[in-house]
Amino acid sequence: MHTVVRAGQRDISVPVGLLMGGRFVAGSSGETFSVFDASTGQPFVEVASATEEDARTALEHAVAAQEEWAASTPMERSEILYRAFELVKQHTEELALLQSLELGRALPDSTGEVGYGAEYFRWFSQQAMAIRGDYRVPPAGVGRIITHHRPVGPVLAITPWNFPLAMIARKVAPAIAAGCTIIVKPAQMTPLTALYLGELLQEAGVPEGVVQILPTKSAKNISVLLDDDRLRKLTFTGSTEVGQMLASKAMEKSMRTSLELGGNAPFVVLEHADVDKAVTEALAAKMRGAGQVCVAGNRFLVHESLAEEFTRGVVAKMGEYVMGPGTREGVTMGPLVSAEERDKVAALVDGAVKEGATVELGGPEALAALGEEHPELDPQGYWYPATVLSGVMPEFEIANTEIFGPVLAIQTFSDEDEALRIANDTPFGLAAYVCGEKLARTMSFAEKMQAGMVAVNRGALSDATAPFGGVKQSGIGREGGFEGLGEYLDTVYIALES
């Protein structure tokens, strides 16, 4: 169940079957689905599509493996995870090329993600040996309180297309560290990275049935497992609407749930900010993966005294991005992942212009002239030009929707209270950013921002060793850091006699 795909200048052998019970196999129905090259809009490979029957078979494997895997030593699990880290690093080029091919993302961004995703395996290889309990005397002095941890049990992980390696790594790595078996449903648009990673995990020594990967053209074929009492945890990254629906289903079985959902991240440039630094960090927060990032800056709130200089700076920098197929050397911004995503971004920009925003770069006219200005781009690809809008108001649709594209929408404010009110006026709270050179005031502002993660004077905040997650409607639980392991462990209290 392998095939060879051409990615950039490389031929790469990739699995195209379901990873079940330690082997890559065809789906029970024999059906497949196409994976598309976002730069051409054309299919380039067929991948096996899992059915409900396959999902139930995978759960049987996971349940059968759970007890023995839970009894494995922390050292065994740690060594497997570290081997996985080493193998991912060794195969950086192949993984990056596959991501850029199926996702469309520029190669530098894909290479960065491979390094980031690998760190989850290294970090949790250490945490596997750091699981500990507690022994203490209760206040009354009668008996003793002992606590220890055991793995939650079989896990279902549902992951998105925008980080096809890292989103899996930060779920699979702590599951392995904790002693849980796990079934992964990767996104339909980006299954190849997941399957290639699955092969590396097998090579690292993951036992049969511990990690299984089920690509499918119908997500319902996998989410049917939420009806089974033997599945004990759901971890989901994706849209708020889908995540809440799945969590509601999981709660019918009182299942442990971790959700990383949508965002609407504010990027605030305070009056005392260093504008050059703010521009640099704004681009870091916005343009990775052509803006298709859950923690991407979405609402750029700039003090009115700095707005003109900031706008001029981001227009100059965004105008330097080079569009093209993600696997091509020199390209810094690839296409969006699908025609649907491209059309959504275009509609948001068109709507903002109709509501009164000013196009400073890109926008509808640049999109219309794309074929003429860039004849080297395949017209069937999912292209959208880097765009800067000014004059955006808080009530505009684009200010209340996760854009997921290369569009930087600028609002202005006159004082910090107004900025904080606008920044927090959203049902979401995944990430937030603030720039300012007066540290005490900037930190005070950051502490009042309603988000699970806040970056101060920096546009990149993701770190395998830090807790990742949101508040309000942006999610439940944390991934990464010390906190990430606890999501896969149950705490058991033993009351010891005196």
pLDDT in tens, 4-60: 999 988 999 999 999 999 999 999 999 999 999 999 999 999 999 999 999 999 999
In this structure, are 253 and 145 located in the same domain? Answer: yes
pLDDT, tens digit, for every residue of 446-484? 999 999 999 999 999 999 999 999 999 999 999 999 999
* Residue 339 lies inside a defined structural domain of this protein: yes
Q: What is the residue-wise DSSP string for 199-210?
A: HHHHHHTPPTTT
Share of the chain above pLDDT 70, in %: 100
* Residue 470 lies inside a defined structural domain of this protein: no
pLDDT, tens digit, for every residue of 391-427? 999 999 999 999 999 999 999 999 999 999 999 999 9
* pLDDT for res 498: 82
In this structure, are 91 and 196 located in the same domain? Answer: yes
From residue 116, alpha-carbon distances to 101, 165, 166, 167, 203 in Å are 19, 9, 7, 10, 20
Structural domains counted in the chain: 2
pLDDT, tens digit, for every residue of 204-239? 999 999 999 999 999 999 999 999 999 999 999 999
431 — pLDDT class (breaks 50, 70, 90): very high
* pLDDT for res 1: 86
Range of the domain at 228: 2-261+475-496
C-alpha to C-alpha distance for 285 and 274, rounded to whole angstroms: 16
In this structure, are 348 and 205 located in the same domain? Answer: no
Q: Assign residue 229 a region: left if phi > 0, alpha if psi is -120 to 50, beta otherwise?
A: alpha
184 — pLDDT class (breaks 50, 70, 90): very high
In this structure, are 154 and 48 located in the same domain? Answer: yes
* pLDDT for res 425: 97
302 — pLDDT class (breaks 50, 70, 90): very high
Active-site choice (260, 281, 402, 416): 260
Cross-strand bridge partners of residue 2: 15
In this structure, are 227 and 313 located in the same domain? Answer: no
99 — pLDDT class (breaks 50, 70, 90): very high
* Residue 461 lies inside a defined structural domain of this protein: no
For the domain that residue 491 is a member of, what is the CATH number? 3.40.605.10
* Residue 468 lies inside a defined structural domain of this protein: no
Mean pLDDT of 251-273: 97
In this structure, are 270 and 253 located in the same domain? Answer: no
pLDDT, tens digit, for every residue of 309-343? 999 999 999 999 999 999 999 999 999 999 999 99
Say whether 260 is catalytic: yes
For the domain that residue 436 is a member of, what is the CATH number? 3.40.309.10
Do 181 and 197 contact (CB within 8 A), yes or no? no
Helices 275-287/307-318 angle, 10° precision: 50
* pLDDT for res 290: 96
Share of the chain above pLDDT 90, in %: 99
243 — pLDDT class (breaks 50, 70, 90): very high
How far separated are the first and last CA of the chain, in Å rounded?
60
* pLDDT for res 8: 87
In this structure, are 197 and 275 located in the same domain? Answer: no
In this structure, are 33 and 58 located in the same domain? Answer: yes
